[in-house]
Amino acid sequence: MYYKFWGKTEEKEYHLLAYHGLDACSVAQEWLDLHRPLVQFLADNVKLSHDILRGILLLFTALHDVGKFSITFQNICPDFLRKLQDCESKKGYPIRHDQLGWMLWCRVLRNHLMGHLHKQSPLVKKEHTCIEELLDVFARIAFGHHGLPPKQPDDSQFDSCFREPDRASAKSYMDDLLPMVLPDESLRDISQWAKLPKQQRKVAVAHWKTRSWQFAGVIVLSDWIASGKLFPFHNKHQPLTEYYAECRETARRAFGSIGLYSAAPPSSTGFEHLFPDYADCPTPLQRFCDTITLTGGPQLWVLEDVTGSGKTEAACTLVSRMMKEKLATGVYVGLPTMATSNAMYERLANVYHLFFSSDSRPSLVLSHGARHLSKAFRKSYSLIQSDMNRDGAEDSSANCSAWLADSTKKSLLADVGIGTLDQVLLGSSHHDTSSGAQEEWARAIFVEKALAKRPGRRRRSESVWKCTTTGQRRHVSVDEGDKSQRESRNRTPPERMPSVPYVLRNAAAYPS
């Protein structure tokens, strides 16, 4: 029955809605499998097993566009409505499909899913309500994948938006999805979650609401990729299990082609590895970053010295060592202005690949809004396009994946991103475009540049670099005053360099 609904169109072609949901689900599964430790961390805090949380996430990713079962959406293309359902309609499209999906969930699909849960493990009224509250958090994320959380549904419009065949098709689609992502034993385990003590359930739901922005980012990413040309149109009837096996392979190829597999960490690292021309004369700060013992867990480093003393190289040295220790899988460099970001892009273009193994092809992307004015970025973009046209030939110094580079939002998914500090601030706030950034930045090192002025001291301002994975802090300061850079290179490290990290009070609760 659900084969009579289209999900996306292009001229005279259409792709079935059920298949588009599975396309997005396959992308989400690939991402979740690549980030298993993060999923396990979330599962532990929500008091669910890894497989159950993963299954719930996949279910709602596959359901993210169920609002398109509405006759009002299907009538956007009357020709396909006539071809697939042999009917016509005069209805307009007054409500977006994401809001329609929330409306369908509240009126039909929520109770339908709860019916499956009751079959596996009967629930009393309080347990039923608790599970509904948890599932609603997932549903709001899925049906808010276009940037805004869904509004309270208007029941008076439901009957005009969804005919009985539309509702039946959506329920049939869910029935066939469940065995693929949440088999019966998983449904029984979900029912057991409602039997936890009340306080544990409240904490679990509150925690998931806090972390929900990351899952929103996963759905946005999955929808982006599944809606693109990497997933071909398919309108032939095929069992969902067979089609899902095929689109899983498509998702793997898509991740590889657009550069979403994290590049492997390097086998060798350090100042000499990154900057062999200066290996015999590192500054005290560079030598410190090259030799200091790294600890595990989130951390913040502050590197402070006079202008021209090699802080950029010191920060790169520290970053490469952190990457080798698997403290992060990506880097974002934030500069005060677009102009300084452009300059840093050119500086890192010949170095960034050394942050990763020699057989990797990491991506480097300039992410601010005026990057098209950067000659270096335009050149790298055009080169990667021509590389793709020559069947994978590789001659670009900055491997700027075309898919990652064609949007400032998607560019934050690159292995190495360079942009402005305001992008970090905007991405860390809860607003309608930040979910994709938060998903990416959970695994990245932030490298931030700023100026530090010393009040009451007659000396020039210092430039400060910060390397952050959040949690622990070290402040490394080289007080050079007005001494020359050559003198700086021969000076011994100052005694006030701390040898023991200062641990933030809330580090144990990270991420909060």
pLDDT in tens, 338-378: 888 888 888 888 888 898 888 878 888 887 766 666 666 66
C-alpha separations of 186 from 89, 190, 286 in Å:
41, 6, 52
Q: Are 11 and 90 within one domain?
A: yes
- Residue 385 is predicted with a pLDDT of 47
Phi, psi at residue 95, to the nearest 5°?
-120, 130
Q: Could you tell me the end-to-end alpha-carbon distance of the chain, in angstroms, rounded to an integer?
A: 44
| Secondary structure element (H or E) that encloses residue 6, with its range | strand 6-10
- Residue 381 is predicted with a pLDDT of 55
- Residue 473 is predicted with a pLDDT of 43
- Residue 222 is predicted with a pLDDT of 93
Give the 3-state secondary structure of residue 154.
coil
- The dihedral sign for the CA sequence 192, 193, 194, 199: positive
Neighbours of 115 (CB within 10 A): 10
Q: Of 193, 223, 228, whose CA–CA distance to 208 is shortest?
A: 193
CA distance 402 to 395: 15
Q: Are 474 and 391 within one domain?
A: yes
Give the 3-state secondary structure of residue 13.
strand
Q: Is residue 226 part of a domain?
A: yes
The residue out of 258, 279, 298 marking a domain boundary is 258
C-alpha separations of 92 from 80, 335, 375 in Å:
15, 47, 46
Q: Are 94 and 224 within one domain?
A: yes
DSSP code string of 243-291: HHHHHHHHHHHHHHHHT-SPPPPPSS-SHHHH-GGGTTS--HHHHHHHH
Q: Are 226 and 182 within one domain?
A: yes
Q: Are 238 and 370 within one domain?
A: no
∠ CA 114-117-118 to the nearest 5 degrees?
90
Q: Which residue has the tokens 């540049």?
A: 449
Q: Are the C-beta atoms of 385 and 287 separated by less than 8 Å?
A: no
CA distance 251 to 245: 10
Q: Are the C-beta atoms of 466 and 302 separated by less than 8 Å?
A: yes
Specify burial of residue 100 (Cβ count, 10 A radius: 0-12, 13-18, 19+): buried
The CATH code of the domain that includes 223 is 1.10.3210.30
Q: Are 216 and 88 within one domain?
A: yes
- Residue 207 is predicted with a pLDDT of 84
Q: Are 282 and 254 within one domain?
A: no
Residue type, 223: D
Tokens linked to 343: 């300059």
CA distance 372 to 380: 11
Q: Are the C-beta atoms of 373 and 337 separated by less than 8 Å?
A: no
3-class SS shares of the chain: helix, strand, coil, % to 5: 55, 10, 35
The torsion defined by the Cα of 246, 252, 255 and 258, in degrees rounded to 10, comes to: -70
Q: Is residue 452 part of a domain?
A: yes
Q: Is residue 230 part of a domain?
A: yes
DSSP code string of 110-124: HHHHHHHHHHHS---
- Based on C-alpha coordinates, what's the Rg of the chain? 26
Residue type, 306: V
In total, the chain counts a number of residues equal to 512
CA distance 26 to 49: 20
Strands 364-366 and 13-16: unpaired
- Residue 301 is predicted with a pLDDT of 87
The torsion defined by the Cα of 278, 279, 280 and 283, in degrees rounded to 10, comes to: 70
Q: Of 352, 327, 331, 323, whose CA–CA distance to 265 is shortest?
A: 323
Q: Is residue 368 part of a domain?
A: yes
Q: Of 132, 142, 128, 124, whose CA–CA distance to 66 is shortest?
A: 142
Q: Are 355 and 451 within one domain?
A: yes
Q: Of 99, 98, 93, 94, whose CA–CA distance to 76 is shortest?
A: 93
Strands 330-335 and 416-420: parallel
The torsion defined by the Cα of 259, 260, 261 and 263, in degrees rounded to 10, comes to: 60
- Residue 380 is predicted with a pLDDT of 61
CA distance 295 to 276: 26
Q: Are 202 and 280 within one domain?
A: no
Q: Are 130 and 45 within one domain?
A: yes
Within its chain, how far is the Cα of 416 from the centroid? 14
The residue out of 192, 223, 258 marking a domain boundary is 258
Phi, psi at residue 10, to the nearest 5°?
-155, 110
- Residue 263 is predicted with a pLDDT of 79
- Residue 427 is predicted with a pLDDT of 64
Q: Residue 136: which residues within 8 A CB-CB, separation 6 or more?
A: 110
Q: Are the C-beta atoms of 448 and 465 separated by less than 8 Å?
A: yes
Q: Which residue ranges of the chain lie beneath pLDDT 50? A: 383-397, 431-441, 454, 457-462, 470-475, 477-512
Total domains in the fold of the chain:
2
| Secondary structure element (H or E) that encloses residue 10, with its range | strand 6-10
- Residue 459 is predicted with a pLDDT of 44
Q: Are 250 and 303 within one domain?
A: no
Q: Are 251 and 275 within one domain?
A: no
The residue out of 209, 237, 258 marking a domain boundary is 258
Q: Is residue 411 part of a domain?
A: yes
Q: Spell out a b/e string for 28-50, using b for 16 or more CB atoms within 10 Å of the CB, else e.
A: bbbbbeebeebbeebbebbbbbb
- Residue 50 is predicted with a pLDDT of 93
CA distance 447 to 449: 7
Domain range for 20 is 2-258
Q: Is residue 264 part of a domain?
A: no
Q: Are the C-beta atoms of 188 and 121 separated by less than 8 Å?
A: yes
The partner residues of 146 in beta bridges, in order of sequence, read: none
